C-alpha cells in the first residue's frame, strides 16, 4: 500500500432543488452489474477519496468516480475571469477587472514549476494554463487528502485567438518526482496521485499544484504560465447562479447516482459491492439523459458530466472527459452571453461565486492584463482535443492496477502544446477534435 494517499470512501449524493420528479426522467433501467465487473483492484494512490472507482482501462466500466465536475469548475471559473469581452465590446471593463481582482483568491501555486519563475513576467506569445479539479467536500476531514479529479491543459497559441483544451487521463502512468517537503519519496504512480502527494503533510493546495506541475513538466516539457484549482461545491454554485446550462447530450447516459422511486422520491439507483460491481436497486428508476440538445438544470448538468459507467458508447472515462470539456465550453459560452455580460447584477454574482470557488496563480500578471490579452477568445473558440483519440490504451501495473498509457500520437499532441503547433497537429488529425 502506498502511504499518504486517501483510501476509497463512500459515494456522495447530489442535492437538487425541491420538487417532484423532473419531466424527462426515463423509465429505462440498465442491466445490473454491467459496468465495473472484473477489474483489478487499484493501488491506494489511485483510489478515490470519496467514492470508490474502478481502475481506468476497460470497457464501459472505468473507475466509478466519486464526484467529478471539477474539470469544469476549473475552466469555467478561470475562463470567466480571463474573458470578459464578447464581440469586441467591453462591458464595464474597469469595474469588472476590479470585481474579478477582489473576488478571486490568488496564490503562488506553481512556484519554480511555473514559466515565470525568476523571469520577467509578461503575457506575450503562447500561454499554457494548468486547470485542476479537486473535490474538497463540506465537512471533509482536514487530514483527508484531495486528489486531482481532472487535469486539463488549456493552451492559448501566440495569436491569442483561440484556446485548446487537452485532458490528461487521471490514471495515466507517470513518474512522480520526489517531494522531500511532504515525505513523498518519488516513484511511478497514476498522475492523479501527484496532487495528493504534494498537498499532504502541510503541502496544501500550493504543494499539490507544484508537484503536479513538475510531474507534467518532466516528461512532456510543458511549463505553465498560470494555474487554477476549483472544487466541486464552487462549480455547483456557479452553475446555479447561471440558472443551468444549454448542452447537447451526444450519447445515452444513465446515471448511477440519481434515480427516482415510483412516488417521485429521489434515491440512489445502484449500489456498488466490494468488487466495484454495480447492482440495480429494486424500485428505483435511474435518471437517463437521452441524446439531443436541451437546457440542463444545475443538478442535471452536474450529474450528467460525472457519469462514466453506463455510457451508451462504452467509452467510460474518455466519454466523461469529452462531456466535461463540452460542458466547459457550454458554461463559458453562457458566461460570455449577452444575458450575463449585459446584466451587471448577474455578472457580479457570477464573479463573486467564481472567486469563492477557486484559487488561481496568475503567474505574476495582473488579472486585468489577462482579461485584455484574452479578449478575442469567445465561447466558440474553445476547442477540445481527445487524448488517445478517446480510445483505451490500458496496461496493468503490479501494485498500482490498471493504468492508461499515452499513445505515440498523444505524445505528439503534447509536444505540439510545448512547441505551440497545436493547429498543425489538429490539421493532421482532425478526428481528434471533440464535437
The whole-number pLDDT of residue 345 equals 80
Residue 294 has pLDDT above 70, yes or no: yes
The whole-number pLDDT of residue 351 equals 77
* Average pLDDT estimate for 170-183: 94
The whole-number pLDDT of residue 147 equals 73
In sequence order, what are the beta bridge partners of 296?
245
HSE-CB at 172 with a 13 A cutoff on CA atoms is 26
Most confident by average pLDDT, 148-162, 174-188, 228-242: 174-188
The whole-number pLDDT of residue 141 equals 63
Q: Over the stretch 212-240, which tens digit does the pLDDT of each residue have?
A: 999 999 999 999 999 988 765 566 778 88
What is the DSSP track for 309-355? Answer: SSBTT--HHHHHHHHHHHHHHHHHHHHTSHHHHT-HHHHHHHHHHHH
Residue 50 has pLDDT above 50, yes or no: no
pLDDT grade, residue 21 (50/70/90)? very low
What is the rounded distance in angstroms from the CA atom of residue 190 to the CA atom of residue 173?
5
Answer yes or no: are the C-beta atoms of 317 and 171 closer than 8 Å: yes
- pLDDT higher at 27 or 101: 101
* Average pLDDT estimate for 141-148: 68
* Average pLDDT estimate for 91-98: 56
What is the rounded distance in angstroms from the CA atom of residue 131 to the CA atom of residue 203?
18
pLDDT grade, residue 85 (50/70/90)? very low
To the nearest whole number, what is the mean pLDDT of the chain?
75
Q: Over the stretch 353-369, which tens digit does the pLDDT of each residue have?
A: 877 777 888 888 877 77
The whole-number pLDDT of residue 186 equals 95
The whole-number pLDDT of residue 142 equals 59
pTM: 0.69
Q: Over the stretch 256-270, which tens digit does the pLDDT of each residue have?
A: 999 999 999 999 999
The whole-number pLDDT of residue 412 equals 97
Residue 112 has pLDDT above 50, yes or no: yes
The whole-number pLDDT of residue 233 equals 59
Answer yes or no: are the C-beta atoms of 333 and 247 closer than 8 Å: no
**For residue 165, what are the contacts with CB-CB under 8 A and spacing of at least 6?**
75, 152, 153, 154, 325, 328, 329, 382, 383, 384, 385
Backbone angles phi, psi at 111, to 5 degrees: 55, -135
pLDDT grade, residue 108 (50/70/90)? confident
* Average pLDDT estimate for 403-417: 96
The whole-number pLDDT of residue 386 equals 84
Locate 396 and state its grid cell. 496493468
The whole-number pLDDT of residue 259 equals 97
* Average pLDDT estimate for 182-187: 94
Of 25-29, 287-291, 401-405, the one with minimum mean pLDDT is 25-29
Q: Over the stretch 115-127, which tens digit does the pLDDT of each residue have?
A: 765 454 667 889 9
Amino acid at each position: 500500500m502506498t502511504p499518504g494517499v486517501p483510501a476509497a470512501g463512500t459515494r456522495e449524493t447530489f442535492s437538487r432543488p425541491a420538487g417532484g420528479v423532473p419531466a424527462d426522467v426515463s423509465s429505462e433501467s440498465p442491466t445490473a452489474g454491467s459496468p465495473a465487473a472484473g477489474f483489478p483492484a487499484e493501488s491506494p494512490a489511485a483510489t478515490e477519496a470519496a467514492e470508490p472507482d474502478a481502475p481506468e482501462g476497460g470497457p464501459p466500466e472505468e473507475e466509478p468516480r466519486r464526484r467529478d465536475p471539477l474539470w469544469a469548475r476549473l475552466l469555467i471559473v478561470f475562463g470567466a475571469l480571463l474573458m470578459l469581452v464578447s464581440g469586441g465590446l467591453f462591458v464595464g471593463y474597469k469595474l469588472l477587472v476590479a470585481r474579478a481582482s477582489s473576488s478571486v483568491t490568488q496564490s503562488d501555486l506553481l512556484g519554480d514549476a511555473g514559466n515565470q519563475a525568476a523571469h520577467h513576467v509578461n503575457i506575450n506569445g503562447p500561454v499554457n494554463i494548468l486547470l485542476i479539479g479537486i473535490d474538497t467536500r463540506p465537512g471533509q476531514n482536514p487530514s483527508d487528502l484531495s486528489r486531482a479529479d481532472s487535469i486539463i491543459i488549456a493552451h492559448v497559441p501566440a495569436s491569442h485567438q483561440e484556446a485548446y483544451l487537452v485532458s490528461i487521463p487521471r490514471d495515466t502512468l507517470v513518474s512522480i518526482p520526489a517531494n522531500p517537503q511532504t515525505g513523498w519519496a518519488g516513484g511511478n504512480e497514476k498522475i492523479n496521485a501527484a496532487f495528493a502527494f504534494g498537498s499532504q503533510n502541510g503541502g496544501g493546495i500550493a504543494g499539490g499544484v507544484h508537484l503536479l506541475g513538475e510531474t507534467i513538466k518532466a516528461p512532456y516539457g510543458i511549463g505553465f504560465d498560470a494555474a487554477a484549482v476549483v472544487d466541486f461545491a464552487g462549480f455547483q454554485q456557479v452553475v446555479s447562479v447561471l440558472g443551468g446550462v444549454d448542452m447537447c447530450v451526444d450519447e445515452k447516459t444513465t446515471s448511477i447516482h440519481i434515480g427516482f422511486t415510483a412516488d417521485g422520491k429521489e434515491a440512489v439507483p445502484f449500489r456498488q459491492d466490494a468488487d466495484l460491481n454495480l447492482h440495480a436497486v429494486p424500485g428505483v428508476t435511474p435518471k437517463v439523459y437521452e441524446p439531443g440538445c436541451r437546457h440542463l438544470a444545475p443538478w442535471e448538468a452536474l450529474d450528467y458530466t460525472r457519469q462514466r459507467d453506463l455510457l451508451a458508447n462504452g467509452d467510460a472515462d474518455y466519454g466523461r472527459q469529452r462531456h466535461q470539456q463540452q460542458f466547459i465550453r457550454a458554461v463559458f459560452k453562457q458566461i460570455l452571453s449577452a444575458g450575463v455580460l449585459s446584466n451587471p447584477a448577474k455578472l457580479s454574482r457570477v464573479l463573486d461565486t467564481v472567486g469563492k470557488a477557486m484559487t488561481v496563480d496568475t503567474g505574476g500578471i495582473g488579472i486585468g492584463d489577462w482579461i485584455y490579452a484574452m479578449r478575442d477568445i469567445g465561447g466558440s473558440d474553445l476547442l477540445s482535443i481527445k487524448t488517445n483519440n478517446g480510445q483505451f490504451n490500458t496496461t496493468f501495473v503490479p501494485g498500482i492496477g490498471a493504468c492508461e498509457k499515452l499513445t505515440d500520437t498523444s505524445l505528439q499532441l503534447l509536444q505540439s502544446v510545448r512547441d505551440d503547433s497545436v493547429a498543425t497537429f489538429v490539421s493532421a488529425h482532425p478526428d481528434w477534435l471533440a464535437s
